[in-house]
C-alpha cells in the first residue's frame, strides 16, 4: 500500500492507496475518531460500499446518502439535501463526511463538508480515475450553477484520501479510458518525460489493471504535488491544471452531462494545442504529439463526438468560464492555458500560465479539431 502525506500549502493531507486494502482504509478513517460518519455514496458503487459499511460500523455509526451522479444534479440543492440528511441523522461537528464515488460525488460532498457547521472533516474515497488520480488532490470543492460549471464552491483540505484501487475495476473500459484524460493532461502540460510510463500503464489496463492504476496514481501525485505545495488555491502556477478545461468545460456543460469530464477535457486540450500552434507558440511536432497521445484513449470519432455541438451554444458557455477574472480580459476573450512546448505553459506578464484568447479563435480551433481524426 502507498501511504504518505500530500502538502497542499499549509495543509498536510494523508493518503492511503492500495489494492484490496479495505481493513487498512477503515482503520485510517477510525483513527480520525469521528462521532459518526455521513457517507455520500455514488449509486454505481453501492456494492463496493457494502463491505466498507460493515467494517466501518464496527467503529462508528455510518449514515449513507445515495447520489445519482448526473452532472445536472451537481448543484447547491444537492449539497443542501446532503447537509439536511446529515443533521437529521444526528451528525455533529466531530462527524466526518465520507465521499465515495467519482469527482461529482467528491466535489458535492466536499462542499457540504465545507459548509456544514461551517466546516466538518472530509474523507475522500475515490472510485474513478478522474477522482482518484486528480480531483481529490485539491482543496477545491464546488458545484455547478444553472449558469455554468463549478461556479460556486469553497476551499477545504480533506482530512484523509483513502482508495482501494480494486474499486476502479468495475468502470466500463470506454469510461475508464476517457477518465484517464486528466493523466494525459499531466503528461502534456507538466511531465512530458512520463509519456512512456503513461502509455505503459494504458497497455497494462486490460491485463493488470491494479498495476496500471498504481502507475496512474504515481503520475497524478507527481504532477500535482509540487505545484499544490506552493499554490494551494490553484491561482498561480497550478492554473496549468486547467489545460484543456476552457473549451472542455464549455463542451461538458453544453452537452448537458452527456459528455463525461475526461472526454471533454481531451477535446479541450486538442483545441488549446491548436490555438497554441496558431499563435506561434507550439511547434507542429508537439501539436502532433497531442493527437498521438490522446489516440490512446480511444475517443469516439471527432466528427461524431463534436458534430452535434452548436458554435453559438459553446460561445455562450465560454462567456461564463470560471477562469474569467484571473486576468483582465477584453469582452469576447477567455484566459486559457496554452503551451510553448510539451510540459511548458506560455506565461503571461504576471508569470501565470494564462493567456487571453479571443473566443472566436478558441471556437475556430475547436472546429478544426472536430474536422480532424484522432488516430
Ligand atoms: N479539482 C477538482 O475538484 C476536480 C478535478 C477534476 C474533475 N472534477 C469534477 O469531477 C467530475 C467528473 O468526475 P468523474 O469523471 O469521476 O465523473 P462522475 O463522478 O460523474 O462519475 C462518472 C460515472 O462513473 C460512475 N462510477 C463511479 N465509480 C464507479 C465505479 N467504480 N464503477 C462503475 N461506475 C462508477 C458514476 O456513477 C458515474 O456514472 C466533474 O464534475 C468535474 O467537474 C473536479
Cα atoms in the Cβ-side hemisphere of radius 13 Å centred on 365: 26
Dihedral of CA atoms 61, 62, 63, 65 in degrees, nearest 10, equals 170
pLDDT in tens, 96-115: 999 999 999 999 999 999 99
SS (H, E, C) 111-179: HHHHHHHHCCEEEEEECCHHHHHHHCCCCEEEEEECCEEEEEEEECCCCEEEEEHHHHHHCCHHHHHHH
Averaged pLDDT, 342-367: 95
Nearest one of 29, 21, 14, 27 to 48, comparing CA atoms: 21
Alpha-carbon gap, residue 97 to 69, rounded angstroms: 17
Least confident range of 47-61, 91-105, 291-305: 291-305
Q: Catalytic site residue 50? A: no
Q: What is the DSSP letter of 70?
A: -
Ligand 1 center–CA 102 separation, angstroms: 3
Ligand 1 center–CA 13 separation, angstroms: 21
Q: Element (H or E) spanning 18, and its range? A: strand 11-18
Q: Which ligand 1 atom sits closest to the C-alpha of 234?
A: 1
Ligand 1 center–CA 115 separation, angstroms: 21
Q: Which residue in the list 182, 242, 263, 274 is annotated as catalytic? A: 242
Indicate which residue's Cα is closest to atom 16 of ligand 1: 102
Q: Element (H or E) spanning 363, and its range? A: helix 359-370
Domains of the chain: 2-170 (3.40.50.1970), 173-370 (1.20.1090.10)
pLDDT in tens, 162-208: 999 999 999 999 899 988 999 999 999 999 999 999 999 999 999 99
**pLDDT in the model for residue 79:** 98
**pLDDT in the model for residue 287:** 97
Ligand 1 center–CA 261 separation, angstroms: 8
**pLDDT in the model for residue 323:** 77
Q: Per-residue pLDDT for 329 more than 80? A: no
Averaged pLDDT, 323-336: 82
Residues above pLDDT 90, as percent of the chain: 88
Ligand 1 near 134 CB (within 6 A)? yes
Nearest one of 83, 101, 94, 82 to 121, comparing CA atoms: 94
Q: Catalytic site residue 242? A: yes
pLDDT in tens, 25-37: 999 999 999 999 9
**pLDDT in the model for residue 375:** 60
Averaged pLDDT, 284-312: 92
Ligand 1 near 144 CB (within 6 A)? no
Q: Report CA 335 to chain centroid distance, whole Å.
A: 19
Alpha-carbon gap, residue 243 to 297, rounded angstroms: 17
Q: Per-residue pLDDT for 49 more than 90? A: yes
Written as nine digits, the cell of 103 is 469527482
* pLDDT band at 58; cut points 50, 70, 90: very high
**pLDDT in the model for residue 61:** 98
Ligand 1 near 129 CB (within 6 A)? no
Q: Which of 102, 134, 186, 224 to mutate to test the pocket of ligand 1 (most atoms within 8 A of CB)?
A: 102
Averaged pLDDT, 46-70: 97
Q: Per-residue pLDDT for 311 more than 80? A: yes
DSSP output for 200-237 = HHHHHTTT-HHHHHHHHHHHHHHHHHHHHHH-TTSSSG
Alpha-carbon gap, residue 261 to 138, rounded angstroms: 16
**pLDDT in the model for residue 148:** 83
Q: What is the mean pLDDT of the chain?
A: 95
Q: Per-residue pLDDT for 15 more than 90? A: yes
Q: Per-residue pLDDT for 132 more than 90? A: yes
| Angle (CA) 356 286 248, round 5° | 45
Residues above pLDDT 70, as percent of the chain: 99
Averaged pLDDT, 222-249: 96
Nearest one of 310, 340, 188 to 250, comparing CA atoms: 310
Least confident range of 46-50, 221-225, 312-316: 312-316
More confident residue, 321 or 41: 41
Alpha-carbon gap, residue 149 to 135, rounded angstroms: 15
Ligand 1 near 260 CB (within 6 A)? yes
* pLDDT band at 305; cut points 50, 70, 90: confident
More confident residue, 304 or 134: 134
3-state secondary structure of 196: helix
What are residue 126's DSSP bridge partners? 101
Written as nine digits, the cell of 133 is 488520480
Ligand 1 near 168 CB (within 6 A)? yes
* pLDDT band at 301; cut points 50, 70, 90: confident
More confident residue, 300 or 16: 16
Nearest one of 77, 133, 83, 81 to 103, comparing CA atoms: 133
Indicate which residue's Cα is closest to atom 24 of ligand 1: 102
**pLDDT in the model for residue 322:** 77
**pLDDT in the model for residue 328:** 75
Alpha-carbon gap, residue 245 to 269, rounded angstroms: 7
Q: Which ligand 1 atom sits closest to the C-alpha of 107?
A: 3
Ligand 1 center–CA 129 separation, angstroms: 8
Q: Per-residue pLDDT for 219 more than 70? A: yes
DSSP output for 287-332 = HHHHHHHHGGG-PPPHHHHHHT--HHHHHHHHTT-TTTTSS---TT
Ligand 1 center–CA 101 separation, angstroms: 7
Ligand 1 near 261 CB (within 6 A)? yes
Indicate which residue's Cα is closest to atom 9 of ligand 1: 103
**pLDDT in the model for residue 25:** 98
**pLDDT in the model for residue 373:** 74
Q: Per-residue pLDDT for 8 more than 90? A: yes
- Residues 6 or more apart in contact with residue 84 via CB below 8 angstroms: none
* pLDDT band at 137; cut points 50, 70, 90: very high
Ligand 1 near 179 CB (within 6 A)? yes
**pLDDT in the model for residue 331:** 79
Averaged pLDDT, 314-339: 86
Amino acid at each position: 500500500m502507498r501511504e504518505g502525506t500530500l502538502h497542499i500549502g499549509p495543509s498536510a493531507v494523508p493518503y492511503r492507496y492500495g489494492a484490496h486494502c479495505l481493513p487498512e482504509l477503515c482503520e485510517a478513517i477510525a483513527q480520525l475518531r469521528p462521532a459518526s460518519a455521513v457517507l455520500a455514496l455514488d449509486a454505481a458503487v453501492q456494492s463496493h460500499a457494502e463491505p466498507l459499511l460493515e467494517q466501518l460500523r464496527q467503529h462508528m455509526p455510518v449514515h449513507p446518502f445515495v447520489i445519482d451522479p448526473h452532472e445536472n444534479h451537481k448543484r447547491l440543492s444537492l449539497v443542501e439535501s446532503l447537509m439536511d440528511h446529515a443533521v437529521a441523522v444526528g451528525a455533529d461537528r466531530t462527524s466526518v463526511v465520507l465521499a465515495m464515488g467519482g469527482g461529482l460525488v467528491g466535489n458535492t460532498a466536499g462542499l457540504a463538508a465545507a459548509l456544514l457547521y461551517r466546516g466538518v472533516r472530509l474523507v475522500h474515497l475515490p472510485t474513478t480515475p478522474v477522482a482518484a488520480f486528480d480531483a481529490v488532490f485539491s482543496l477545491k470543492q464546488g458545484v455547478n450553477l444553472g449558469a455554468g460549471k463549478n461556479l460556486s464552491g469553497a476551499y477545504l483540505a480533506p482530512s484523509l484520501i483513502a482508495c482501494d484501487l480494486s474499486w476502479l475495476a468495475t468502470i466500463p473500459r470506454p469510461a475508464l479510458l476517457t477518465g484517464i484524460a486528466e493523466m494525459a493532461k499531466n503528461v502534456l502540460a507538466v511531465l512530458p518525460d512520463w509519456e512512456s510510463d503513461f502509455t505503459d500503464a494504458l497497455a497494462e489496463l486490460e491485463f493488470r489493471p491494479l498495476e496500471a492504476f498504481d502507475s496512474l496514481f504515481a503520475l497524478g501525485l507527481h504532477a500535482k504535488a509540487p505545484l499544490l505545495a506552493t499554490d494551494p488555491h490553484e491561482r498561480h502556477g497550478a492554473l496549468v491544471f486547467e489545460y484543456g478545461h476552457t473549451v472542455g468545460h464549455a463542451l461538458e456543460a453544453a452537452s448537458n452531462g452527456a459528455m463525461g469530464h475526461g472526454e471533454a477535457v481531451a477535446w479541450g486540450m486538442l483545441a488549446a494545442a491548436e490555438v497554441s500552434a496558431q499563435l506561434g507558440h507550439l511547434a507542429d511536432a508537439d501539436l502532433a504529439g497531442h493527437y498521438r497521445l490522446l489516440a490512446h484513449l480511444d475517443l469516439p470519432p471527432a466528427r461524431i463526438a463534436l458534430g452535434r455541438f452548436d458554435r453559438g451554444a459553446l460561445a455562450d458557455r465560454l462567456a461564463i468560464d470560471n477562469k474569467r477574472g484571473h486576468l483582465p480580459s477584453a469582452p469576447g476573450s477567455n484566459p486559457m492555458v496554452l503551451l510553448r512546448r510539451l510540459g511548458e505553459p506560455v506565461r503571461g506578464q504576471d508569470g501565470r500560465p494564462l493567456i487571453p484568447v479571443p473566443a472566436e479563435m478558441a471556437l475556430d480551433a475547436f472546429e478544426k479539431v472536430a474536422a480532424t481524426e484522432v488516430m
